[in-house]
Chains A and B, each alone.
Chain A
Amino acid sequence: MNKTGWIDRRSLLAAAGATIAAPAVVRAQAKSLKIALMLPRSGFFAQAGQSCYRGALASPKVLSDLGYNVEIVHIDTESSNDVSRTQAEKAINDGAQCVIGAFESGNTIAIAQVCEQRKVPLICNIASAPQLTSQGYQYLVRNFMSGPGLVTNGLKLIGEVSKAANMEFKTAVFLHSNDTFGTAQAQAMEKIFPTLNMPFKIVESIAYDPKAQDLSVEVTKVRGINPDLLLIVTRAGDAIKLTRDMVRQKFQPKAIMSPGSPGLYDQEFFDAVHEYADGFIYNLPWFNVKSQMTQALEASFKATNPKNRFDLDGFNVGFTFEALLIAADAFKRAGTGEGEPLMKAIKATNIKDHVMIGGPIMFNEKGDNPNIGSAAVQNIGQKPTVVYPADVAVAKPILPFPAWQGRK
């Protein structure tokens, strides 16, 4: 063929070779997935955001050992919707191929709107508003329970734990903080409790101000009613005040349980009340101590956060790690970080071995993981200990509630 002709055999072969090799070249280029991890590391939700962040620090080692390669960009949402929205725009501008976050529902929705417009997958690590996955977002999945799901599971576990411990409750008092979280939980309880046919009655519901100096009036009131079961929804600060006032007034029902709230497994709670932290039971999604992946994550956590306790951070750490795992796994299967195929791969997720209690990680049509389980966790020896269900439990529930006196 003439050299001056528009194509020769060598060029044709080179072009054909390049065409065949192109996808492989592209895949080879996309070695790691760039993830924007958006957490409320300052502002109102800072404590939880920091806890999730510690999980993110521990995750790359475990993911790398599993053969995954991710690049994490840490972004502080400052617990603000406006910051969440603008920072999501910036993260995507800067090349983030997937966004993970954001612990709080309002912040998550602000990010979801940006991700939807930019066609970038958003994996929600923690956020419980049911509406999050019922709005028709195509680029959002949530590896966490909705608020009603948390309360339903929490209440069911109360019945199951009492049965397992041969303990009968006839009356209960529901004591909850009147802040946003406590009020939301109380509203969910009001709706769900009558539908569950529970073996006990809630004879009184008492709301309190978590900023109050002490909770002696509330404890006196509960003491007067003397219920079998005290149901509580607290955060760490008011859980401390509540415990101190119960010890002071020597009030001790058969059991003190939370149908799903933080506070009772926070570092500051253990630091403040020491041995009096023992006996409380809280029903929440929890990490599976028996899982090998959890053990690997715990080891990495200890190395990256030597001053923090994995068992106290495990809830936030576990869900944050799993969100990263979902992204990394989908990226490996999709072979690309492009929005549409990556989202398709995320929706097809089926991870059997993971950290949190429950079945395989997978997503339904709405984008929720229906297999997340809850566990009853009891403070034993100042350590959160799974006591139910039996297959994941490492101890049996201690009921009735151990006496305040004589604790060491």
Chain B
Amino acid sequence: MKAALSFLTPRSTVALILCGVALLIAPFVVDRYTLSIILLALLGTYLGQAWNILMGYCGLLSLGHALYLGLGAYVSAVLFVNYGVGPWLSVFIAMAVAVGAAFLLGWLGFRFRIEGVYFSLLTIAFAEIARIGFDNWSFVGGAAGFFLPVNAALQDQWWNLRGGPLFFYYLALAMAAASLLIAAVLRSSKLGYAFLAIREDPQAARALGVNINRTRFLALFISAAMTAVGGVYTAFWTNNLFPAQILETSKSIEIILAPIIGGLGTLMGPFVGAFLLVPLGSALTDGLRAIGLSAPGIKALVYGVILMLIIAATPNGIWPWLARKLGLEAREP
């Protein structure tokens, strides 16, 4: 653990603590609307971090992470509604199912040396197969969706992930913090160095004795399992699941935007990206409405232009630039 936190400089330690305290007291300071935006940003941080471990650290570009999100969501929701299995138990089953799917994908990809963009295409194919499968699988509601009960009698059963916005807010905060810790521990571990070595040069890593396939599998498993936990959260937070929403390619893109904009392969990238993109979307909605520009699609247009400007201004992501400006750059391990 000590090694995991060795990257922190005194200044970045203070910044991290201030950030944590601000997020802890946020529910008592901000209104419910702002809180709901912060919640989405925290969830985006968590999912972005899960994807970042695979792509940012290990160099495997997945464009189908909605697969693990959807599997996690559906497994926990079906187990809860149809078999009465609580989410604290089903989360492990969801993780196992996601890891199983990741194993199948990895076996096909790594066994047959499907690399680069072709690996990315494979991840899209898996997610699409799952979406079409769930669309036509009546046991899970098919295209008409799967619903979790939300009646008042269940509202205070926190052990069944039934609760109000405050409960889900702190859960999202805990998940985001945990994902940051997991990523930090991984980065400073032998496995983390193996990830980075493979990302930089697989052949050189192999020459140094790194088992490429085994390491890539581990990155895939960790990322899939973490994303599945995000799926469990999503299922119990939204209470409804539609394959066209949770398993769509657009969901995969949504997951990867935060770490890419924030800074790929950095610890704080997903956090910074999510806390920029989610509020930006809401601010645009509110701002455009306030100035009377309510033409449909205008928000997407402005949002796209802003994203392009951000990418053009900070091609390595916002966090490396921001850290440099604020003097928060990590210590070299």
Contacts and interface: CB of A to CB of B under 8 A. Distances in A.
Interface of A: 41-42, 46, 49-50, 74-76, 78, 81-83, 85-87, 89-90, 92-93, 105-106, 109-110, 113, 116-118, 129, 131, 135-138, 147, 178-184, 187-188
B40 interface: yes
A131 B141 CA distance: 11
A183 B296 contact: no
A75 B244 CA distance: 23
A78 B282 CA distance: 11
B116 interface: no
Contact of A181 (B40, B143, B296): B143
B294 interface: yes
A22 B300 CA distance: 48
B152 A138 contact: yes
B37 to A, nearest CB: 6
B145 A46 contact: no
A333 to B, nearest CB: 26
B239 A113 contact: yes
B238 A184 contact: no
Interface in B251-301: 281-282, 285-286, 289, 294, 296-297, 299-300
Contact of A86 (B33, B136, B145, B294): B33
Contacts of B297: 42, 46
Given A85-B36, A93-B33, A188 B144 contact: yes
Given A81-B240, A131-B145, A136-B153, 15 more contacts: A42-B296, A42-B297, A42-B300, A75-B289, A76-B294, A78-B285, A89-B32, A106-B242, A117-B165, A118-B32, A129-B144, A129-B145, A131-B147, A138-B152, A184-B143
B244 A180 contact: yes
Contacts of B142: 183-184, 187
Contact residues of B: prevailing secondary structure:
helix
Contacts of B238: 81, 106, 109-110
A180 B285 contact: no
Interface of B: 31-33, 36-37, 40, 135-136, 138, 142-145, 147, 149-153, 164-165, 238-240, 242-245, 281-282, 285-286, 289, 294, 296-297, 299-300
B34 to A, nearest CB: 9
Contacts of B135: 178, 180, 183
B143 A183 contact: yes
Contacts of A183: 135-136, 142-143
A261 B297 CA distance: 26
B299 A78 contact: yes
A180 B136 CA distance: 9
